[in-house]
Amino acid sequence: MKGIVFLGNKNLEIQEFKDPVPGPNDVIIEIKASGMCGSDLKFYRANSGPSSLGLGGDDKPVIAGHEPCGVVVEIGSNVEKKFIYKGMRVMQHHYEGCGNCFHCSTGWQQLCDDGVKAVFGVTGNGAHAKYMKCPASTLVPLREEISFISGAAISCGTGTAWGALDRLGLKANQTIAIFGMGPVGLSAVMLAHKMGARIIALDTNQQRLNRSIEFGADITINPENHLNLLEEIKEHTQGLGVDASIDASSSPSARSLCVKSVKTWGKACFVGEGGEVTLDVSNDLLRRQVTLIGSWTFSKHGQADCANFITEKKLDVDKLFTHRWSLDQADEAYKLFDRQSDGKGVFIP
């Protein structure tokens, strides 16, 4: 089968791999949709080879793609067929831990006490291929009402937005500011809108900012058009600030404003990876009783909760995707995605 492999320096290859065979505790998924995630760009852009990218650690090629969604086609001998069966529609929680520690037992395999065994699409073969092998324990059922490409989004980007909103405990009639209108930010807008919140969306990319209105943003702000963003946000909140905020941009200035823009007793959540932020701890946090939360992806159970919410609220997650690609179009797809100006892309193997 063909699989997409990142080589670094904005290069990739479509390489040939043997069709995977399940171990006793594994399944084989026939991939129906494999989403492109912003974190892919870290490996796509890296200026060194696979071992330094974290892809396998020994220069062996690793298939990219950590937003898998598809159908179970093979089952290992130890897999309980009452719960996992051929033809089952599934998403995948793309981390493998020990399976026994507290974090693994609560669905947080990425926080495994013994260290993560595999991050599929990074250190283990992922979903940018026709088939994918993974432990049966990492599967999350996909309800019939949800399309495969929506399931791919929930498997990382949209699930990450859900995880952040869950940590914030967002309530109806609260106001939230969301910084960065990439796929995670737009997902947060979509979900927060259905939760009944009032939404202020911020991005320097006007095209992405305009899309946020389709997803439920009430107010849009382009930082390049305003000299004092904090005052602009306060003007929309009776001078108090927002109840909650999310930074999905990784921008140092956006992170700082994410904290400063919340009202006294408000909550700010960082989702965007990497980088730094500078804060005046006393004035920005302590003396305003602000809660600052770091939210890394989501649990396996949170992934299922997100899918259930989307089903019950009849959310059209498919509209996050502006591009659909075949595997053979991988080079073109990632060159476009690297510009970070359009919506989300997905491979349909």
Residue-wise pLDDT for 6-54, tens only, equals 988 899 999 999 999 999 999 999 999 999 998 899 889 988 654 444 4
Rounded to an integer, what distance in angstroms lies between the CA atom of residue 320 and that of residue 181? Answer: 11
Indicate if the pLDDT at residue 238 is higher than 60: yes
Domains in the chain, please, with CATH?
A: 2-156+298-347 (3.90.180.10), 161-294 (3.40.50.720)
CA–chain centroid gap for 123, Å, is 17
* Phi, psi of 27, rounded to the nearest 5 degrees: -130, 160
**What percentage of the chain has pLDDT greater than the value 90?**
89
What single DSSP character describes residue 84? Answer: S
Strand duo 175-179 + 291-294: pairing: unpaired
- For 151-178, write each residue's pLDDT tens digit: 999 999 999 999 999 999 999 999 999 9
Report the DSSP beta bridge partners of residue 95.
119
Contact indicator for 170, 242 with CB cutoff of 8 Å: no
Could you give the residue ranges of the DSSP H alpha helices within the chain?
40-45, 50-53, 102-105, 148-154, 157-168, 183-194, 206-214, 229-235, 252-260, 300-312, 330-337
82-106: average pLDDT: 96
Per-residue pLDDT for 97 more than 60?
A: yes
Q: Taking residues 180-203, what's their average pLDDT?
A: 97
pLDDT of residue 31: 98
Confidence at residue 316, expressed as pLDDT on a 0 to 100 scale: 96
Q: Determine the pLDDT at residue 58.
A: 57
Map residue 80 onto helix, strand or coil.
Answer: coil
* Torsion angles phi and psi, residue 206, rounded to 5: -65, -35
Spatial separation of the C-alpha atoms in residues 243 and 27, rounded to whole Å: 44
This prediction has a pTM of: 0.94
Binned at pLDDT 50, 70 and 90, residue 340 comes out as: confident
212-215 contacts, C-beta under 8 A, 24 or more apart:
212/181, 212/185, 212/186, 214/319, 215/186, 215/189, 215/190, 215/319
